[in-house]
Structure 1
Amino acid sequence: MTAIVDLEAGTVFVGGAGADHALPQMLLLKYANRHGLIAGATGTGKTVTLQTLAESFSRAGVPVFMADVKGDLAGMAKSGDPAGKMHDAFQKRAEDIGMVLDYQDFPVTFWDIWGERGHPVRTTPAEMGPLLLSRLMGLTDAQEGVMNIAFRVADEQGLALLDMKDLQAMLVWVGQNAKELSLKYGNVSTASVGAIQRALMVLENEGGNLLFGEPALELADMMRLDASGKGMVNILSAERLMNSPRLYATFLLWLMSDLFEQLPEVGDPDKPRIVFFFDEAHLLFDDAPPALVAKIEQVARLIRSKGVSLWFISQNPADLPESVLGQLGNRVQHALRAFTAKDQKALRLAAQNYRPNPDFDTAEAIQSVGTGEAVTSLLEVKGVPGIVQRTVIRPPLSQLGPISDAERAALVAASPMALKYGQTLDRESAAEILAKRAEAAATGGAVTGNGSDEDLWKMDREHNRGRRYDPGLQIPADPKPRSARSSGSDSIATTFGKSLARQLGTKTGQALVRGVLGSLFRGR
């Protein structure tokens, strides 16, 4: 048997198939942006499959983002241990499938919305937009309408919504001026304003307010390569985040929308620009109306042309809508258990999604594969689905399992992202400007500088500010970090140029994304 190097040109080695496991199962990088599925019951090996695929993408120079719901994926930062308890089993598996077991570590950046187990992940209310925020807080249609009015007025008056207190101050102002605003924008109920404020308070008490602030996350910081050319492995600490499923789902949808807006069209590249693994993917679709599911399917199809690969991880393919499953060309199906009639029906439906193999029954194979094995179907040349195969998944090259808290803390401290995201910025924005206005009104004076209405209305709003892109680096080329660009009076115009463009649809791509991930959120 010829030894297979884990990374061949343009491919990802998934494992060995066939009766003697000698048939290599290769994922073609050219078709990786046709998205993928990793499914299977608890304990059947989904996490190991996720880790091995992330390793291979990183080795191919493709950045990766994934949520770590159990803390197990942090081990990618350390090389596998030849003296470890799993080494003998991994070595035997590697020999069976003809693979060279070359232990190594991978460049990892840890992220955490709460900033406790990784670098803080922040965005601004202006960048998230009123519709995703409304979904996050579970607002009614009337309350969502008031939220849209608040954002619209803030855009028109140059009041930057950069953190939670800005949004709260803006809502107070809307409530105080409800009568005047109702004449122009429609009914503004103070009861709705109060309900939104209560929802914001609940979100703040749950720690969700930490998501809003500056410096906001630059997607370019996730799309990096290390000195050896490996793609950065971005791991979002999600153990605590799983207790807030609405926040988790909204955060992932925001990432998708931001990627769609920022990345240029590239068609079918030789390899993805970035790969996203969405664990517990059913949370994206729980209680979602059919129209929203259709729009998520649409963005999954369209974001492919941006060079983005999406992988959904769930226990059962039935957790995902059929319309979304139809977009997932590469599939790794671990064992499904069929103890009830409903389980047996789900098993048959899962088997029908594969191109049959005359050597075995697909449904029986899905039920009988052992831990570390899977039924796989990977896209072949011209994007044709491959014949289903029983496959032994290759062993990981990095450490399987978590690292210590001290090791994690040391990696976070040594990361260049610590300097950029470690300290919160608090620039003059809506809360401060509205406070100046109130003070000026109380004293009969005039507000100067950024706080004056005359200055605010004269600001140049950069609705269509473009982004340059360096395809050689695979990351958006930006001459200055966001914190540097966001200084002075023009930072407010920049921030709200983006926000207003999202709402009014001044850019085709932004209008589409807001339609895809926003306008139908109200149909809860």
Structure 2
Amino acid sequence: MADKTSFSELIQSGYATKGDSITLGTAMLNGETVENAYVKIPLKTLNRHGLIAGATGTGKTKTLQIIAENLSEKGIPVLLMDVKGDLSGIAEPGTPNAKIDERHKAIGFPYQPKRFPAEILSLSEQDGVRLRATVIEFGPVLLSRILDLSDTQSGIVSVIFKYCDDHKLPLLDLKDFKKILQYSTNEGKEQFAESYGRISTSSTGAILRKIVELEQQGGNLFFGEKSFDPQDLLRLDDNGMGYINIIRLTDIQDRPKLFSTFMLSLLAEIYATFPEQGDSGRPELVIFVDEAHLIFNEASKALLNQIESIVKLIRSKGVGLYFVTQNPTDVPDAVLSQLGLKIQHALRAFTAKDRKAIKLTAENYPVSSYYKTDEVLTALGIGEALVSALNEKGIPTPLAHTMLRAPMSRMDILSDDELKGLLQNSSLVPKYHQTIDRESAYEILTRKIEEANTQEAKEKSQKETASKQYPTSRTTSRSRKTANPWIKTFSSPTVIRSVLGILGKMMK
């Protein structure tokens, strides 16, 4: 039996914080909570990214909800990816019950129901703040990586962007991009060849097929105006609480291309527009990516490299990224190595492959003299997790089997009426509700092609008219010959055959 006193001292010293922090729960030993052994995470290290993992039904979503609530309470805005549709209840207070009271009695502090300021966002036609971005905002490099293009095709995309920039052709939606691709190898091929080099129709055809694939996953809804301003994610309410922005993704679970497209564009825009934060002691924004395997499973190597780069760089902007998934192996090693906070819920060992994965997962956590990590991973109860974080000096904290506190907000979804009321009171829904389709590359090029076709038809008509009014000398000479009756007679087929017959007899 391990010594509770020494364990309590280890946890208290390992998770002690001088600055502000959030409390996840209380550490456990031998299946029981240990008094005053609170597991606290410094706000200062929450931009070092993190992982929340565990099998289905072990409490990952509630852990996400707990962290989001605590951040909001500290005045830090949050962005949540709600793939399963069960996070909207954050906008309403939770309901105490016997199980929650028992849990908090064991943890060592009372349960306090509370609602939090929430904003509902949408990538599709669902109700909520519409999230959009223009093609030009993506840029040629990011767009090429999302479409998984070859080097040659990526070069063509760069040329297309350069042409549009030189000729003041706004690339706003996929319709614009498709039009300029077609124009580059048809009506405008000579102009392109002269200034930018000839473009292969086979290459543009391959790019168009990739765009059609993206359109089929809803890309035509995402690309366009009005573009979403990432600064709108940083709002605080009148009480100084950070808004919890919830993106409803329930209808795009089978469209990973759209999901990853949005994520990369948002992270790239945040990195480009947010100022360097330095050592401010707290993050500016924390983003939770639920069902993170949707991004990584379908990602190309180029796309994974882009994600890895953003994860490494965006921390300096005061942004924390937290991936929520079933197994840590769902996250590439290059990304996993960047994650400072790891919250591991129970894993199930049904097969030999599962047992091997559990042993591998256990090796990702600090060695502990109080736990056999691989055994604890399969014995964790619902709402319990192994936690390893970074202290204020960036040193990993001791491994803690933690009983997590209950969410303060509702652990269920909003009713239709509650959701409607939340959207009606939103200040962002009217701002992004309307779809803007101003004149862009598609309209400009279509008009240019129509004008060229009209001019060509006009010139052709003028030539035909001139040809009828002023016949050529050759035509006139032929007409005069035909008008002479003697010429007409002797040039007839009958006379010619007769003459040839006479000549034939004379030769005999």
TM range (shorter): 0.7 to 0.9
- Residue type at the aligned position of 2:51: L
Are 1:15 and 2:37 counterparts? no
Unaligned runs of at least 5 residues, structure 2? 1-16, 457-508
Are 1:70 and 2:81 counterparts? no
Which residue does 2:383 correspond to in 1?
372
Q: Deviations over 1:323-366 (max 9, x none)?
A: 21111111110011122222222211211122222112111111
Q: 1:113 aligns with which of 118, 123, 126?
A: 123
- What's the offset of the Cα at 1:197? 3.4
Taking the aligned partners of 1:21 and 1:180, their CA distance within structure 2 comes to 76
Which residue does 2:494 correspond to in 1?
none
Which residue does 1:56 correspond to in 2?
70
Which residue does 2:434 correspond to in 1?
423
CA contact (8 A) 2:217 2:258 kept: no
- Residue type at the aligned position of 1:16: T
Taking the aligned partners of 2:414 and 2:175, their CA distance within structure 1 comes to 37
- What's the offset of the Cα at 1:406? 2.8
- What's the offset of the Cα at 1:187? 4.5
- What's the offset of the Cα at 1:391? 0.2
CA contact (8 A) 1:329 1:378 kept: yes
SS in 1 for 2:320: strand
- What's the offset of the Cα at 1:443? 5.2
SS in 2 for 1:363: helix
SS in 2 for 1:276: strand
TM-score of the superposition, structure 2-length normalised?
A: 0.81
Taking the aligned partners of 2:226 and 2:245, their CA distance within structure 1 comes to 18
Q: Deviations over 1:295-341 (max 9, x none)?
A: 53332122111101011111111111222111111111001112222
Are 1:148 and 2:162 counterparts? no
- What's the offset of the Cα at 1:141? 4.7
CA contact (8 A) 2:217 2:257 kept: no
Are 1:266 and 2:277 counterparts? yes
Which residue does 1:313 correspond to in 2?
324
Which residue does 2:498 correspond to in 1?
none
Which residue does 2:287 correspond to in 1?
276
Larger mean CA deviation between 113-122 and 133-142 belongs to: 133-142
SS in 2 for 1:81: coil
Are 1:189 and 2:200 counterparts? yes
State the structure with more CA Rg: 2
- Residue type at the aligned position of 1:102: Q
- What's the offset of the Cα at 1:433? 2.1
Which residue does 2:135 correspond to in 1?
125
Are 1:441 and 2:455 counterparts? no
SS in 2 for 1:56: helix
Unaligned runs of at least 5 residues, structure 1? 1-6, 446-524
- What's the offset of the Cα at 1:149? 2.2
SS in 2 for 1:17: strand
CA contact (8 A) 1:178 1:189 kept: no
Q: Deviations over 1:59-79 (max 9, x none)?
A: 111111111011110110111
Larger mean CA deviation between 24-33 and 174-183 belongs to: 174-183
Alignment map for 1:42-441 (pairs within 5 Å): 42-82=56-96, 87-176=97-186, 177-182=188-193, 184-286=195-297, 288=299, 293-441=304-452
| Structure-2 change in CA distance of 1:331 and 1:241 (3 Å) | same
Alignment map for 1:499-518 (pairs within 5 Å): none
Alignment map for 1:447-466 (pairs within 5 Å): none
- What's the offset of the Cα at 1:255? 1.1
CA contact (8 A) 1:115 1:121 kept: no
Taking the aligned partners of 1:199 and 1:288, their CA distance within structure 2 comes to 14
- Residue type at the aligned position of 1:124: T
Which residue does 2:11 correspond to in 1?
none
SS in 1 for 2:234: coil
Query: Percent identity among equivalent residues?
Result: 43
Taking the aligned partners of 1:395 and 1:346, their CA distance within structure 2 comes to 29
Q: Deviations over 1:47-98 (max 9, x none)?
A: 000000011111111111111011110110111123xxxx221121111111
- Residue type at the aligned position of 2:123: I
Taking the aligned partners of 1:291 and 1:169, their CA distance within structure 2 comes to 26
